[in-house]
Amino acid sequence: MIQAIGLTSSPRKELPPAVDDVSFEARAGRVTALLGAPGAGKTTVLRLMLELQRGRGVTHFRGRPLHRIPHPAHEVGVLLGDVPGHPARTVRGHLRMLCAAAGVPARRADEILEAVGLVGLRDERLGILSRGMDRRLGLACALLAEPHTLVLDEPAHGLSVRESRWLHGVLRTYAAQGGTVLCTTADPKEAARIADRVVTLERGRLVADQEAGVFSRTRLRPRVAVRSPHAARLAALLAKEARTARRSVEVVPEGGNRLYVYGSTCAEVGETAFRHGIVVHQLAHEVGDMGPGAGGVHLSRSAGDEVRARTGHPQRATGAPVAPATGAPATLTADTPARPATDAPPPSAADAAEQVTGGPRPAPSAAPRHHTGAPADNDPPASAPPDRQVPEEPAVKETRRPATASTGRPDRSFDAPAELPPRLSARPAPGPLRPLRYEIRRVAGVGTGLLVGTGALVVSALTAVLLARIGHTPQPRLLAAWPRELPLPPAALGAGLLGALAFGDEFRHPALAADRGTVPRRLGLLAAKLLVASVVALVLAVLTVGCDAELLYLLYGPEVVEVPADWLALSAGWLGLVIGCACAGVLAAGVFRSTTAGLAVVVAVPLLVVPLVRKAVEGPSARAVTGFPARVREGAPLRWPFGGEHHLEAVLRVIAQPVGGALVLSLAVLLCAYLLTTLRGRVR
């Protein structure tokens, strides 16, 4: 159950807030539609509910706000806009990465793909998916962790009739099995078809909160759509007969040769046209829209544009202007001349609702599947009201089904009945390996890291060859391809960029916490990113020296690549430099939420921090580090095993260097800033 209380967005400058004091409920076992025209504030309401936008008010998901839920993905499945994912990642790889983030088995990705009909596209890239396939993938991401609540922003926008019918069936099935579904739409007819309760917004304010049956009776009006070359004459005749019979009939010209007749039937309009010899090209029952937030174009009509004949007051919403909505007819029609028909009473408001709905909806399952491991809902899943019926779209006749891009086989998922993936048998307990699995799948899912590493190796090799040809470069700098004119070697810059991508890529394509829109600041996730970035930087450092040495050996002989006497200290300093740059990129991108900022901090270490550290370590303070291991050994009751004082002295020498000291200082400052932002976010 969702309880939204007093949602109000923060106003910008002197403009009124986009959402002002919106409160409503969405009960378990039911589909709730948030209806409103474009700009009415539907998306803003969802963002306020999910705490993605600043404002006032509170939203409880089964009694708890979202920031109080330990694992939001297990409680709320969200689809806002397009699927947030890297365009080069595959469909299956994206879902497997989310499985690791949510703590569900990797096989869940294949089950979800089977349920949403994307098995044939599992190896396709996210960037080439069509609108319909993107909607299916977004629904798959929302269903992945088997949440109790689905929050979807216009899920059927841009879909075909078949795709919309399939999506509505999935939502109805999900609600029938005990889940809570909240979706937005701008089409009143769609809201009447799929929802059990309709919440209407207009200009950021709540104007109606109705059961679907009441909504259909008060918001949707039956009408007869007429197309005739003599529309004006037919309108005058219909108005005259209505006045004579003292019946409430409203005739609204729709420009050219079209009419909308309210309060009559096809049979009556057809008989009038037949008696007076008027040719009719179209005669069909439709369901019009009336009231605020219609989502259609409201027609401005003057007194001369309308022909009205009234003796009573037809049923309509209080204070709401009558305006026929644009859109397709709710029933199929035949373009034939009018013929005499038997008398039939005018369609009632209940008949209007039936024109957009069909047979009975399935009742909620006796064993709900969305209540495991969560507090019980005070409101049991309610069945659909007796006057609500299942949505029924116009029949679509097709002789050939589309084939999938990868297999070439027909895709029957559109016409298949809506089925949900099987239930999760058990949720594994949270462990330290969950963020590590996620990070490994994130890194391996796209080729960005491979391209950056390859580019760093190529630039290092070319730089080393150029330095060897010029000469006057010490052997350590030659093997590391580090000219004195550059602040950092290419390998260190590549490692820093890879580290910055660890967080920067997720801020641009948030996948780990799709239910919140940003990456949560958790120490377990930070540790996993630092570990993976360090391993990648270590491999890059070793490959750089190995490739440079091999290329120099082939071009200039063995004397260029002789092993120096102090190779251990040089190796430790080289590995520490590359790994430190990678870690600095991770922390900087996590603090500033930008890949560019992360790389800028890595470059700023030798340009800005090193001169400051060099001034600090000049003089006696730098020489005092040399005797520190010996003094520690003399003062300690136990001796260093395996000559540990020599290794400690080598590490301290590296730190005593200006670049090493500046890197250590920068890492400490970035880590403190990351922890500070983490604590501040938890306090709020």
pLDDT at residue 618 in the model: 64
Longest dimension (CA), the chain: 119
pLDDT at residue 364 in the model: 44
Residues 118/91, Cβ–Cβ less than 8 Å: yes
pLDDT at residue 594 in the model: 84
pLDDT at residue 497 in the model: 93
| 450 has a pLDDT exceeding 80 | yes
Query: Please, which residues bridge with residue 403 across strands?
Result: 410
List the 307-309 sheet strands across, edge first. Answer: 282-289, 220-227, 258-262, 249-253, 307-309
pLDDT at residue 648 in the model: 56
Query: Please, which residues bridge with residue 9 across strands?
Result: 55
Please state which CATH class domain 2-23+31-204 belongs to. alpha beta
pLDDT at residue 51 in the model: 85
Q: Which of the two residues, 640 and 356, has the higher pLDDT score?
A: 640
Rounded CA-CA distance 462/560 in Å is 16
pLDDT at residue 420 in the model: 82
Model confidence band, residue 330 (pLDDT cutoffs 50, 70, 90): very low
Tens digit of pLDDT for each residue in 119-156? 999 999 998 988 888 888 989 999 988 899 999 999 98
pLDDT at residue 103 in the model: 83
Residues 316/352, Cβ–Cβ less than 8 Å: no
List the 2-9 sheet strands across, edge first. Answer: 22-26, 2-9, 55-61
- CB contact set of 288 (below 8 Å; sequence gap of 6+): 220, 221, 222, 223, 260, 262, 322, 323, 324, 325
Q: Which amino acid is it at 313?
A: H
Model confidence band, residue 466 (pLDDT cutoffs 50, 70, 90): very high
Tens digit of pLDDT for each residue in 192-248? 889 999 999 998 999 999 998 888 877 787 889 999 999 999 999 999 999 998 888
Compute φ and ψ for 22, nearest 5 degrees. Answer: -100, 125
| 677 has a pLDDT exceeding 50 | yes
Q: Which amino acid is it at 370?
A: H
Percentage with pLDDT > 90 across the chain: 31
∠ CA 574-576-581, rounded to 5°? 100
**What's the predicted TM-score (pTM) here?**
0.72
Bin 81: left if φ > 0, else alpha if -120 < ψ < 50, else beta.
left
Model confidence band, residue 418 (pLDDT cutoffs 50, 70, 90): low
Tens digit of pLDDT for each residue in 351-386? 444 444 444 444 444 445 554 444 444 444 444 444
| 317 has a pLDDT exceeding 70 | no
Rounded CA-CA distance 170/153 in Å is 15
Q: Which of the two residues, 281 and 405, has the higher pLDDT score?
A: 281
Model confidence band, residue 653 (pLDDT cutoffs 50, 70, 90): low
Rounded CA-CA distance 156/205 in Å is 24
Mean pLDDT across 298-309? 31
What is residue 135's three-state secondary structure?
helix
- CA dihedral for 365, 367, 369, 374, sign (positive or negative): positive
pLDDT at residue 392 in the model: 40
pLDDT at residue 606 in the model: 83
Q: What is the mean pLDDT of the chain?
A: 76
Comparing 204-213, 329-338, 427-436, 509-518, which segment has the lowest mean pLDDT?
329-338
Mean pLDDT across 555-579? 86
Structural domain boundaries in the chain: 2-23+31-204, 218-347, 433-683
- CB contact set of 32 (below 8 Å; sequence gap of 6+): 2, 24, 25, 26, 180, 181, 182, 183, 195, 196, 197, 198, 199
| 633 has a pLDDT exceeding 90 | no
Q: Which of the two residues, 398 and 264, has the higher pLDDT score?
A: 264
| 167 has a pLDDT exceeding 80 | yes
Model confidence band, residue 651 (pLDDT cutoffs 50, 70, 90): low
Rounded CA-CA distance 451/447 in Å is 6
pLDDT at residue 464 in the model: 93
- CB contact set of 626 (below 8 Å; sequence gap of 6+): 649
Q: Which of the two residues, 564 and 95, has the higher pLDDT score?
A: 95
Residues 291/239, Cβ–Cβ less than 8 Å: no
Cα 427 to its chain centre, rounded Å, is 23
Comparing 195-199, 286-290, 568-572, which segment has the lowest mean pLDDT?
286-290
Q: Which of the two residues, 533 and 421, has the higher pLDDT score?
A: 533
